[in-house]
Structures are given as structure tokens and as C-alpha cells.
């Protein structure tokens, strides 16, 4: 019984003389190969040459500081829960008196690690974060010879106080508007003068 009309009868006819010597087939194959010599190469000489990437490219993460240099992350774990690759781990600690200039909230991440070999750069950690503490950036994760080198800790993730990373392109107009609203705890900036000689680092 024929279920579809897609079946084909296999031809079993004898090969012609030209088919037997394979010459036309070889010439056809070589012509295809040589035609690629004159086409534009899709490869580039990385890292000397770099491709243009989208402004919202999802690359290496940054843990942001607030306007006064205090770490925004409060170690709530929302990013780790949202991460489909289970790439994020952290250890919390309680902020001590006098550390207000270092950590924005009462609880902070004593350690924070992202396994870049697990990460699929989906950006869900960024979306889950209620403190606008983690963002993906346009930086490319470096290659390494050791697997350990891909576990990024706070030393690589927290932005340097004097080398801030602009993430405004990743923030929606709604979030930027929300940040302008005075009175919301989320927008409160720590007043350094209240702790005397405290210095952000």
C-alpha cells in the first residue's frame, strides 16, 4: 500500500563512459572549490581585527557600584535562582558599622562567582536583579588554558572605582525614569559625610 507519493524508484542503470572515468565530476568539484578563492572571506584575523557588535551585546558581566562607590549587590540570590545554567554562586555577609561606604545594603556578597564556562549569556541574571547590581557588558570573556581561570570572582566582576562601566544602553527608559524618583529607598544615595572619614574603594 502506498501511503505517500514521495517514494522514488531507484535507478539501477549502467554508468555512462564519462561517469565511469569521473573526470566531469572532478572538474565540477574543482570549479566549485576555485570559485571560493574569489569570494569575500567570512573569517577575520581576530584579535587584530574585531567584528562590530550590537550595543546591547551580552558579554562579560559587571557588578555595579552606586554613585558613591558602594557595591550595589545585596547577595539576595535572585540572579542565581534565575540562572538556567546554575553558573552563579555567592556567600553572604552582614555589613558592619562603618562599612556603609563599601556596601550599599545591610547584607552584601562576601564572595560572588560566575562560572563563565557554564554561562550561556542569556541575561536572565540581569533581569532578575532587584538592585540593578549585575549587568552584562560588551566585553568579551578572555580565553584561558585552565578551567579554573573561567571562574570569575569579585576581583574580575566588581567594577573598579575609577573605571566605571557604562551600562545605560542596557537600561530600559522605564528603569531610568524610575531611578529619578526621589524618596524611593532604591534611589537613596549613601551620604559619605555621615561617617566622617569613610572612603569608598
Interface contacts to ligand SF4, rule CB under 6 A: 73-79, 82-85, 87-88, 90, 114, 119-125, 128-129, 131, 133-134
For ligand SF4, give the closer residue by CB, 101 or 112: 112
For ligand SF4, give the closer residue by CB, 121 or 178: 121
Closest approach, Cβ 37 to ligand SF4, in A, equals 40
For ligand SF4, give the closer residue by CB, 26 or 93: 93
Closest approach, Cβ 60 to ligand SF4, in A, equals 10
- The CA distance from 145 to 180, in Å, is 45
Closest approach, Cβ 84 to ligand SF4, in A, equals 6
For ligand SF4, give the closer residue by CB, 4 or 143: 143
For ligand SF4, give the closer residue by CB, 101 or 152: 152
Closest approach, Cβ 85 to ligand SF4, in A, equals 4
Q: Which residues of 103-117 are buried (b: 16+ CB within 10 A; e: fewer)?
A: bbbeebbeebbbbbe
- The CA distance from 96 to 78, in Å, is 23
Spatial contact of 100 and 195, defined as CB atoms under 8 Å apart: yes
Closest approach, Cβ 36 to ligand SF4, in A, equals 37
Amino acid at each position: 500500500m502506498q501511503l505517500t507519493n514521495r517514494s522514488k524508484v531507484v535507478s539501477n542503470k549502467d554508468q555512462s563512459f564519462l561517469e565511469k572515468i569521473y573526470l566531469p565530476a572532478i572538474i565540477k568539484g574543482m570549479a566549485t572549490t576555485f570559485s571560493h578563492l574569489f569570494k569575500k572571506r567570512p573569517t577575520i584575523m581576530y584579535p587584530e581585527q574585531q567584528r562590530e557588535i550590537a550595543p546591547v551585546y551580552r558579554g562579560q558581566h559587571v557588578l555595579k557600584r552606586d554613585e558613591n562607590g558602594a557595591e550595589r549587590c545585596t547577595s539576595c540570590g535572585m540572579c542565581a535562582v534565575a540562572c538556567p545554567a546554575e553558573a552563579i554562586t555567592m556567600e553572604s555577609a552582614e555589613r558592619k558599622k562603618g562599612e556603609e561606604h563599601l556596601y550599599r545594603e545591610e547584607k552584601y556578597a562576601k564572595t560572588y562567582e560566575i562560572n563563565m564556562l557554564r554561562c550561556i549569556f542569556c541575561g536572565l541574571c540581569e533581569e532578575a536583579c532587584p538592585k540593578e547590581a549585575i549587568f552584562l557588558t560588551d566585553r568579551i570573556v578572555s580565553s584561558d588554558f585552565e578551567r579554573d581561570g573561567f571562574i570569575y570572582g569579585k576581583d574580575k566582576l566588581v567594577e573598579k572605582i575609577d573605571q566605571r562601566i557604562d551600562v545605560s544602553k542596557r537600561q530600559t527608559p522605564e528603569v531610568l525614569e524610575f531611578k529619578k524618583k526621589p524618596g524611593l529607598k532604591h534611589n537613596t544615595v549613601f551620604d559619605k559625610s555621615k561617617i566622617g572619614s569613610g572612603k569608598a574603594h
